[in-house]
Structure 1
Amino acid sequence: MILLVLSVILVLVVAGCASVVWAARGGPPWTRAVAKATMAAGELVRASGRSTGNRNRSGDSSTLGGD
């Protein structure tokens, strides 16, 4: 089941990337809409990674398993 979910996510990511490239080359209007949605999703993922990443990379040795 998890393999199916990951496969669907992979297909959506590849299709989104292809639509971004196609829209940049002047594709049909629907590719621009899909590309805009893909870029927005990418920004959300990047922002969520930034917010959790800053807490984990604070340089505190206690979070790194130091003594």
Structure 2
Amino acid sequence: MIVLLLGILVLAIGGCVCVVWADRGGPRWVRAVAAVTLAAGELLRIARRNRRRSIKRSSGGDE
């Protein structure tokens, strides 16, 4: 389990490094990894937002 979490952490850090490097004009593969990283982050934001909405609806939404 710890190996899996460490692998995810390494991928996340690597993705962040690629985003910074791509912003400074890195090679094509770095820009591709950065685009995938940013898209994954956006998908996670959307999923979290939708989850919050469904939780508010199921609890009454008066919070």
TM range (shorter): 0.7 to 0.9
The percentage of counterpart residues that share the same residue type is 47
Q: Residue 44 of structure 1 aligns to which amino acid in structure 2?
A: L
Q: Residue 39 of structure 1 aligns to which amino acid in structure 2?
A: L
Q: Map residues 1-67 of structure 1 onto 2, 5 A cutoff.
A: 2-57=1-56, 60=60
> Gaps spanning 5+ residues in structure 1: where?
62-67
Give the RMSD, CA atoms, in angstroms: 1.6
Q: Give every structure 1 segment of 4 or more consecutive aligned residues whose post-TM-superposition deviation is greater than 4 Å.
A: none
> Gaps spanning 5+ residues in structure 2: where?
none
User: Which one scores higher on RCO, CA 8 angstroms, separation ≥ 6?
Assistant: 2
The TM-score, its normalising length taken from structure 1, stands at 0.80
CA deviation map 1:8-66 (0-9, x unaligned): 000000000000000000111110000000011001111110100122245738xxxxx
Q: Give the greater-gyration-radius structure (CA).
A: 1
Equivalent residue for 1:64? none
